[in-house]
Amino acid sequence: MPAERPDQEMHLGAPRSRVFIEEEDILQEWGGSTNIFMIIEQSRIPYWRKLLTERFHIYHQVEVCGNHVILSNQM
């Protein structure tokens, strides 16, 4: 299993696997009907809030855990 890359903040995958997803890929899916959860560092909230609300008007902060925040495209 590849090591987690610290420069990536978006991950997609089934249990026991790690798959990294690029920013443009998450943006293509964010406006769809599939429930997506994205875990980001708190320092990245302003960037993602601006990007998601400008493009989709959808920004749901679900939970905070330590210095990470969980976002979702569904409420």
How do the domains of the chain map onto residue ranges? Answer: 35-75
Give the mean pLDDT per block of 10 residues along the chain (75 residues).
Answer: 50 57 88 90 95 92 94 90
Among 25, 14, 9, 22, residue whose Cα is nearest residue 70? 9
Q: In sequence order, what are the residues at sequence separation of 6 or more whose Cβ sits closer than 8 angstroms to the Cβ of residue 2? A: 18
| pTM for this prediction | 0.71
pLDDT of residue 63: 95
